[in-house]
Amino acid sequence: MGRSGTSEQVISPSNRVEILQTVEFLDSFMDELDNTFEVYAPNPYIRMSLHLIQNHFLGKTVTPTSLIGASGVPYATANRRLNEMVELGLVDQRPRTPSGKTFSMHPSEKLIKSWMQFSERAKRLAGQSFVPAEQARENDEYYFGGSYMAAKSIPPIKILPEPLKLNGGVRVLVHGDPTFMVMESLKRQFEQVIGTPIQQRAFSIDRLREEILRNAERKNSMYDIVAIDLPWVGELVSKNVLLPLDSVMDLPRLDPADFHTAGWSATHWDGRAYGVPAQTTPELLFYRKDMFAQAGIEPPETTDEVLRAAKYFHDPAHGKYGIAWNAAKGTALGHTFLMTLADFGQPILDLPQIAGGFDATHLAKGDHKICIDTDLGRYAAEYLLQLLQYSPPNILSMSWFERVRPYAAGDIPMAYGYTLLAPYFEQDPTSPASGKTGYLPHPSGRGARHVAPVGGYALAIPTNIAPERLHAAAEALMVFTSPEAQKLYVQNGSLTNPRYSVAADPEVRRSSTVFEAVDGMSWRDELQFWPRPPIPQISEIIRACGEELHDMLRGVQTVKSALQRAQERAEKIMQT
């Protein structure tokens, strides 16, 4: 009868209550329909799902017979529908006897996740229909896996019952950004939590990738946990650098539904998770709300509006410039080009189009074509050339942190930047941008959808970790990425967060408007990871694009030539 095993998804008490309330309401509602309309026919899929979910959370055993009995349809029909649900991965079976001839039935992780999301949608729809408008406006924020209406403070992080046994302590390799530097500053506190020393090394983005690959060549890994940039997932998995998480831990303990959907999906390759989001940091457009209001200019929603605003504010004679962005040669500009392509509605690969964007969940199947030298590619390249006119004079050497510095200093009113860079001005009371910054998804070009390209890092476990260190490393990984830890990072200066529950915490939401902004983008399905599809060759492709387009920006080659050369180089990279 299909699959075996069951999901042991960990659900918070508040979510458990909400799901049970939804199930009980729907069960009663369907009973009312059944008793009211003579022509009403029960839906066996919904009836059996309700029965499974309810008994799962109540800890009661469900047998095939009781499940079929709950369907409300004849036995033969219910049995066929149950088989279909098993084959679709909605229902798991667990042998009840050593002979394996009898089974208990359980909702799969897929079904539980769907019901978590549905219970929130149902509550929101009910609120829209029945709650008075004044009250609804006060409680109109919503997200999958929890509710701002019932937001509760996340408690302080607790010390593990038993200290982790790791000779020499837990060894962590990270990126040298503000979030991971906050982790470093909290090292003593986390050492008390896990009961062992923490050794953390930090590198720049390119050196971090090199060190991860170098470490993979060693017989035994120097690190228990490594931070990986999301676009690297395909490359590192294909080179057998990372362990699949389901081989080292019980994934439901992580509460996957609590992570921003795009951030959690970006850690997967061929259907398996290889990292836990440590920071989900979309690249946004930062803009000075006070300057725009004073000038009577609306926040830009399109690339044309960005250019008009940049032109208005550009005043190089007085040391003021229109906009800053990632334009340094190589990796930095390459990332910018891929995201700008997305702003015009095109991924760099021929990904299938789906509702909300493009499907990047089946990249492991390969056989993708490069899409650089296209009409939309030309629009994206020409947009970057136009931005150049209103940028600081050193724009062609600006990367990552450099683009935010003039924004924090008040020299420019707009900057493309990751949310992890927001502390440079949000938490600097001397910055003119402090408390006066608005956060927007990337303004779109030529009628495309708004996109907030997801960046950030996940924590992963190297394949060549010594076996005796594996269990403790997995436990440390869960501690470092827990809601309690994430809230602690925010309280100590980080402005990135991968979890819905953390962003809903009242103390976190008061610390910066960026959390509310990012959650709104996630709710509107604007957070996407397809702009930088994590195929194995993506790092080299990004570098090639960044080199060719840098020559274009310097006037060394034309738009047409730059796109042609980038296309040719990317195609050769794909062939290898």
pLDDT tens per residue across span 233-255: 999 999 999 999 999 999 999 99
pLDDT confidence bin for 39, thresholds 50/70/90: low
- Give the pLDDT confidence score for residue 102 in this predicted structure: 77
Model confidence at 70: pLDDT above 70? yes
Find residue 10's DSSP bridge partners.
none
From 295-304, 358-367, 376-385, the region with the lowest mean pLDDT: 358-367
Phi, psi values for residue 442, rounded to 5° = -55, 125
Which amino acid is it at 153? Answer: S
Handedness of CA 48, 51, 56, 59 (dihedral sign): negative
Q: How many CA atoms lie within 13 A of 233 on its CB side?
A: 35
- Helices 375-388 and 559-575 cross at an angle (nearest 10°) of 120
Structure tokens, 161 = 């019952």
Separation between Cα atoms, residue 58 and residue 53, nearest integer Å = 9
Q: How many residues does the chain have?
A: 576
- Give the pLDDT confidence score for residue 522 in this predicted structure: 86
Separation between Cα atoms, residue 321 and residue 332, nearest integer Å = 20
Mean pLDDT, residues 192-202 taken together: 95
Evaluate whether 194 touches 476 at the Cβ level (below 8 Å): yes
Q: Tell me the percentage of the chain whose pLDDT exceeds 70.
A: 88
Please classify residue 214 by burial: count the beta carbons closer than 10 Å to its beta carbon, then call 0-12 exposed, 13-18 middle and 19+ buried.
exposed
Strand extents, DSSP E, 195-275: 198-203, 225-229, 268-269, 272-273
Mean pLDDT, residues 320-336 taken together: 97
Structure tokens, 168 = 């020499």
Evaluate whether 428 touches 408 at the Cβ level (below 8 Å): yes
Evaluate whether 170 touches 196 at the Cβ level (below 8 Å): yes
- Give the pLDDT confidence score for residue 124 in this predicted structure: 65
Mean pLDDT, residues 525-533 taken together: 94
Q: Which residue has the higher pLDDT, 448 or 161?
A: 448
Mean pLDDT, residues 114-121 taken together: 72
Which amino acid is it at 11? Answer: I
Cα separations (Å) of 397 from 57, 205, 326, 329?
56, 16, 8, 7
Mean pLDDT, residues 118-147 taken together: 54
Q: Tell me the percentage of the chain whose pLDDT exceeds 90.
A: 65
- Give the pLDDT confidence score for residue 187 in this predicted structure: 92
Find residue 451's DSSP bridge partners.
442
- Give the pLDDT confidence score for residue 147 in this predicted structure: 38
Name the 3-class secondary structure at 185: helix
pLDDT confidence bin for 142, thresholds 50/70/90: very low
Mean pLDDT, residues 110-132 taken together: 69
From 66-75, 212-221, 305-314, the region with the lowest mean pLDDT: 66-75
pLDDT confidence bin for 421, thresholds 50/70/90: very high
Model confidence at 555: pLDDT above 50? yes
Name the 3-class secondary structure at 442: strand
Rounded to a whole number of angstroms, the distance between the first and last alpha carbons of the chain is 43
- Give the pLDDT confidence score for residue 179 in this predicted structure: 86
Considering 68-72, 179-183, 455-459, the range whose residues carry the highest mean pLDDT is 455-459
pLDDT confidence bin for 57, thresholds 50/70/90: low
Separation between Cα atoms, residue 261 and residue 143, nearest integer Å = 11
Mean pLDDT, residues 560-565 taken together: 98
Question: Measuring CA to CA, which residue among 545, 550, 551 is closest to residue 567?
Answer: 545
Model confidence at 503: pLDDT above 80? yes
Cα separations (Å) of 287 from 452, 453, 523?
15, 17, 21
From 69-78, 423-432, 482-491, 536-545, the region with the lowest mean pLDDT: 69-78
Mean pLDDT (the chain) is: 88
Which domains, and CATH codes, for the chain?
Answer: 13-115 (1.10.10.10), 281-451+530-575 (3.40.190.10)
Which amino acid is it at 16? Answer: R
pTM of the predicted model over 0.85: no
Which residues make Cβ contacts (< 8 Å) with residue 25, sequence separation at least 6? Answer: 122
- Give the pLDDT confidence score for residue 144 in this predicted structure: 37
